[in-house]
């Protein structure tokens, strides 16, 4: 029994090593990084973080990223809830085909869409806005949300709907005050996945923005190429992008595994 616990420990160590290195780098001065190898920061410095928090072109990157990720999550969940309800409760013309078609969009290579997306969002004059990135990410997040939510709704007995109807609840009131609270774990998991995809995706986000809505991740690629080897700064920016994910995952830790299992293929 005890021998088995070695495996997860070794695996987690393997996962933490590159992250440790990134964090360690972020506390080193450029001089120390370039002068040679050191396992721990010798001249501990917070300058890299100070640069990021005082330079608008850096910290606006974070604000932009968080803005379009939030908008995307809200839109995705808001439209996916009624759709998932329809798929889980009713049969209607073309329901299976529609469900499958939605999922095929999850399979589309983002690289295929980069250029047409640029043209589409330029044509509707949304280029370089939060809304453009948020809407573009909907292509991948809505199908996933519908899929996850439908799985959770399938676990709620239909009697709940009928009882509420008999008790004289109108549909919107039933949906908002009884149904959604009873699948709030599912909403949490779906929101988590929307957040996750929108936060980590870069190709589309970068293609659809120039200055005003540029994501933090794109700011990093620019710095890496233009400012030469400012590794410490890059590492500090990278470290800061891990934090929102870590916070979000902490909140849904008890539901992640369940969220996967309840979806159906």
Partner 1 sequence: MKTENQKAWFFVLPVLILVAFNALIPMMTVVNYSVQETFGDNVFFWQGLDWFQQILRSDRFHAALGRQFMFTFLILIIEIPLGIAIALSMPRKGFWVPVCLVLMALPMLIPWNVVGAMWNIFTLPDIGLLGYFLNHVLGINYDMTQDPVAAWVTIVTMDVWHWTSLVVLLAYAGLVSIPDAYYQAAKIDGASNWSVFRFIQLPKMKTVLTIAILLRFMDSFNIYTEPFVLTGGGPGNSTTLLSIDLVKIALGQFDLGPAAAMSLIYFAITLLVSWLFYTVMTKDDQT
Site for partner 1 in 82-141 (CB under 8 A): 82-83, 85-87, 89-93, 95, 98, 102, 104-117, 119-120, 135-136, 138-139
- Residue 12 as a binder of partner 1 (CB under 8 A): the answer is yes
- Residue 21 as a binder of partner 1 (CB under 8 A): the answer is yes
Nearer of residues 108 and 212 to partner 1, judged by Cβ = 108
CB of 61 to partner 1, least distance (A): 11
On whether the CB atoms of residues 213 and 133 are closer than 8 A, the answer is yes
Token digits for 116?
Answer: 């047409």
Nearer of residues 18 and 168 to partner 1, judged by Cβ = 18
Distances (CA, A) of 261 to 21, 24, 179: 33, 36, 21
Nearer of residues 75 and 183 to partner 1, judged by Cβ = 75
CB of 90 to partner 1, least distance (A): 4
Binding positions for partner 1, 29-68, rule CB under 8 A: 33-34, 36-37, 39
Nearer of residues 55 and 82 to partner 1, judged by Cβ = 82
Distance of CA 159 to the CA centre of its chain: 34
Nearer of residues 128 and 131 to partner 1, judged by Cβ = 131
CB of 12 to partner 1, least distance (A): 5
DSSP output for 114-183: HHHHHHHHHHTT-TTSHHHHHHHHHHHHHHHHHHHHHHHHHTS-THHHHHHHHTT--HHHHIIIIIHHHT
Binding positions for partner 1, 198-257, rule CB under 8 A: 199-203, 216-217, 220-221, 224, 231, 234-235, 238, 241-242, 244-246, 248-250, 253-254, 256-257
DSSP structure class, residue 202:
-
Nearer of residues 67 and 135 to partner 1, judged by Cβ = 135
Q: What angle do CA 49, 53, 57 make, to 5 degrees?
A: 115
* HSE toward the beta carbon, residue 33, CA cutoff 13 A: 19
Token digits for 92?
Answer: 């209607």
């Amino acid at each position: 029994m005890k021998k088995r616990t070695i495996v997860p420990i070794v695996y987690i160590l393997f996962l933490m090593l590159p992250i440790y290195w990134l964090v360690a780098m972020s506390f080193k001065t450029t001089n120390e990084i370039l002068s040679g190898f050191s396992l721990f920061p010798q001249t501990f410095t917070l300058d890299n973080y100070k640069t990021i928090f005082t330079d608008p072109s850096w910290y606006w990157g974070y604000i932009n990223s968080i803005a379009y990720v939030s908008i995307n999550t809200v839109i995705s969940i808001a439209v996916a809830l009624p759709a998932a309800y329809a798929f889980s409760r009713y049969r209607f013309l073309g329901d299976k085909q529609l469900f499958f078609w939605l999922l095929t969009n999850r399979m589309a290579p983002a690289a295929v869409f980069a250029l047409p997306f640029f043209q589409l969002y330029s044509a509707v004059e949304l280029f370089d806005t939060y809304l453009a990135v948020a809407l573009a990410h909907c292509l991948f997040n809505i199908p996933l949300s519908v899929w996850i939510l439908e799985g959770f709704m399938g676990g709620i007995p239909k009697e709940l709907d009928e009882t509420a109807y008999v008790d004289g609840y109108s549909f919107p009131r039933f949906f908002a005050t009884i149904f959604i609270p009873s699948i709030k774990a599912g909403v949490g998991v779906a929101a988590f996945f929307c957040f996750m995809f929108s936060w980590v995706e870069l190709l589309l986000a970068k293609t659809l923005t120039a200055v005003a809505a540029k994501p933090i991740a794109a700011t990093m690629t620019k710095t890496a190429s233009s400012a030469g080897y400012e590794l410490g700064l890059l590492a500090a920016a990278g470290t800061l992008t891990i934090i929102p994910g870590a916070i979000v995952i902490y909140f849904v830790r008890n539901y992640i595994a369940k969220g996967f299992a309840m979806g159906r293929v």
